[in-house]
């Protein structure tokens, strides 16, 4: 049995389809069907053999592709968020130890009353942030298992399931007050780990993906969205801002990869939701195919401002 066949055989042993292990602002779970409808035809004919996602985030589309297109043999994911890449690497390398730590956390948390749960959350968050300066994010080591378990715990018990950090890289989302949140989904973590055995994982700017990408690669870009209003600026999933100059640099990279012959898809906000004369993305990607799709605005703190908006899907095919 070759390596790829072994991967799918191992994946089939789990009864659960892999899905994101973190709740993530801007996650693509709700748009999967729409995005898949725009996939290049080469992904069905077998001409696409590699998949890259340089802003991996929660990874909803990555997991879908990995489980539904067997002709794709190699995967690449990266992100500028070092905590996120630490977590993916830990799941790849030692998922069973991670599950053990998470079960301890889950059992302890669920044994507490709501007041004690809140105290435990804030103490755990404080300890997590205190360890930031003492964490080596470059070399895999055992304490990554503990840190990943806390990342998952905080994400599943914090308000609105966000991952947000301040300018110092400290996690700053408040307590969520959920009843019986699932903290350890062991089956899902094992399914994810199986997929990650075929995946290159790197920490860094989106351009670290260039060495992986060729004419037989499908690339999906899901960068921090350009704010559609002055009050909608949520880019702090890492300590690094992603402003208009970064969006322009990404467009230049998109053009470089298009010249290589890779198939490219990019998602972003539609400025015309607020300003019909804002042609920011039309100008950046004028030579490419742009579609507008309906999506739900999910993370506004004002529930009345959540609802359907338009997003852009940009393709070079």
Task: CATH number of the domain at 127, please.
Answer: 1.10.1020.10
Q: Are residues 17 and 123 in the same domain?
A: no
Q: Name residues of the chain where pLDDT drops below 70.
A: 1-15, 229-240, 297-307
Number of domains in the chain: 2
Dihedral over alpha carbons 145, 147, 192, 61 (to 10 degrees)? -160
Q: Which residues contact 210 (CB under 8 A, 6 or more apart)?
A: 253, 256, 257
Name the DSSP class of 261.
T
Q: Are residues 139 and 9 in the same domain?
A: no
Q: Are residues 205 and 306 in the same domain?
A: yes
What's the token pair of residue 289? 């195919």
Range of the domain at 158: 84-187
Q: Are residues 134 and 123 in the same domain?
A: yes
Q: Are residues 310 and 240 in the same domain?
A: yes
SS3 56: coil
User: What's residue 229's pLDDT?
Assistant: 63
CA distance 12 to 201: 23
Report CA-CA distances (Å) from 39 to 42, 65, 255, 314: 8, 10, 18, 11
User: What's residue 163's pLDDT?
Assistant: 87
CATH of the domain at 24: 3.40.50.150
57 near 161, Cβ under 8 Å?
Answer: no
User: What's residue 241's pLDDT?
Assistant: 78
249 near 210, Cβ under 8 Å?
Answer: no
Q: Which residues contact 77 (CB under 8 A, 6 or more apart)?
A: 52, 53, 54, 56, 59, 62, 88, 199, 200, 201, 202
Q: Are residues 124 and 76 in the same domain?
A: no
Burial class (CB in 10 A: 0-12, 13-18, 19+), 317: middle
What's the token pair of residue 237? 């999933």
Report CA-CA distances (Å) from 50 to 42, 101, 166, 194, 216: 11, 33, 35, 17, 6
Which among 187, 211, 233 is the end of a domain? 187
Q: Are residues 104 and 35 in the same domain?
A: no
What's the token pair of residue 191? 């399914």
Q: Are residues 115 and 253 in the same domain?
A: no
Q: Are residues 36 and 177 in the same domain?
A: no
Helix (H) or strand (E) holding 196: helix 186-196
CA distance 307 to 303: 9
Helix (H) or strand (E) holding 289: strand 289-297
Which among 187, 218, 247 is the end of a domain? 187
Q: What's the whole-model pTM score?
A: 0.89
Q: Are residues 217 and 291 in the same domain?
A: yes
Which among 164, 187, 210 is the end of a domain? 187
Closest CA to 204 of 92, 87, 77: 77
Q: Are residues 229 and 282 in the same domain?
A: yes
Q: Are residues 216 and 309 in the same domain?
A: yes
CA 21: distance to chain centroid? Answer: 9
């Amino acid at each position: 049995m070759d390596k790829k066949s072994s991967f799918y055989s191992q994946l089939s042993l789990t009864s659960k389809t892999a899905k994101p292990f973190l709740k993530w602002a801007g996650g693509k779970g709700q748009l999967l069907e729409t995005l898949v409808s725009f996939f290049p035809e080469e992904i069905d004919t077998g001409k696409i053999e590699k998949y890259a996602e340089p802003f991996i985030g929660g990874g909803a589309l990555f997991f879908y592709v990995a489980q539904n297109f067997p002709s794709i043999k190699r995967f690449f994911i990266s992100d500028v968020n070092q905590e996120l890449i630490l977590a993916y690497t830990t799941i790849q390398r030692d998922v069973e130890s991670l599950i053990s730590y998470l079960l301890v956390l889950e059992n302890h948390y669920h044994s507490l009353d709501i007041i004690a749960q809140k105290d435990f959350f804030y103490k755990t968050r404080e300890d997590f942030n205190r360890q930031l300066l003492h964490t080596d994010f470059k070399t895999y080591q055992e304490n990554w298992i503990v840190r990943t378990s806390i990342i998952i715990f905080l994400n599943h018990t914090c308000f609105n399931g966000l991952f947000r950090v301040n300018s110092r890289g400290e996690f700053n989302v408040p307590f969520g007050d959920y009843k019986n949140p699932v903290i350890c989904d062991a089956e899902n973590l094992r399914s994810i780990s199986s997929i990650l055995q075929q995946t290159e994982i790197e920490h860094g700017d989106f351009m670290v993906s260039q060495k992986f990408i060729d004419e037989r690669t499908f690339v999906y870009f899901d960068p921090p969205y350009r704010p559609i209003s002055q009050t909608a600026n949520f880019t702090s999933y890492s300590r690094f801002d992603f402003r208009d100059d970064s969006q322009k640099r990404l467009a230049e990279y998109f053009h470089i990869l298009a010249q290589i012959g890779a198939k490219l898809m990019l998602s972003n906000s539609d400025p015309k939701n607020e300003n019909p004369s804002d042609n920011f993305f039309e100008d950046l990607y004028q030579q490419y195919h742009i579609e507008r799709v309906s999506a739900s605005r999910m993370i506004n703190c004002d529930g009345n401002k959540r609802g359907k908006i338009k997003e852009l899907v940009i393709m070079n095919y």
